[in-house]
Amino acid sequence: MNTESASHAFSHSLTTGGSDHFLPKLIAAINSAKRIDMTVAFVRETGMKLLIPALREALERGAVIRILTCDYLQITDPAALRTLLLLKASVHQQQGAQVKIFESNI
């Protein structure tokens, strides 16, 4: 198997790091999406700052956004969750970003 041609075969659908950055691909996907469902291990304020402009534009054009995360090991940044709440409020939509917090003693 020729590894050079094999790596090129996946270059459009697989981001492997190095010079193949994930952020531009993620923003391009957000910019063209009508619905955005993200499942992430944690949310940090530094990451949200990179995505907020694209997420705001998506909401303004009527996209529905859902982000599922958790606070396991307390890695998720409360400021990032507040940023999501403020994002929804700033666009003034009944539909759009859903922010729900579920708590458990488990």
Q: 3-state DSSP call for residue 76?
A: coil
pTM score of the predicted model: 0.76
Place of tokens 């090129």: 8
**What's the rounded Cα separation, in Å, for the pair 72 and 98?**
20
CA atoms within a 13 Å half-sphere pointing along the CA-CB vector of 99: 13
Over residues 10-25, mean pLDDT: 80
- pLDDT per residue as tens digits for the range 55-84: 999 999 999 898 999 888 889 999 998 898
**What's the rounded Cα separation, in Å, for the pair 77 and 63?**
25
Residue ranges of domains in the chain: 19-34+44-100
The pLDDT mean for the chain works out to 82
Over residues 82-102, mean pLDDT: 73
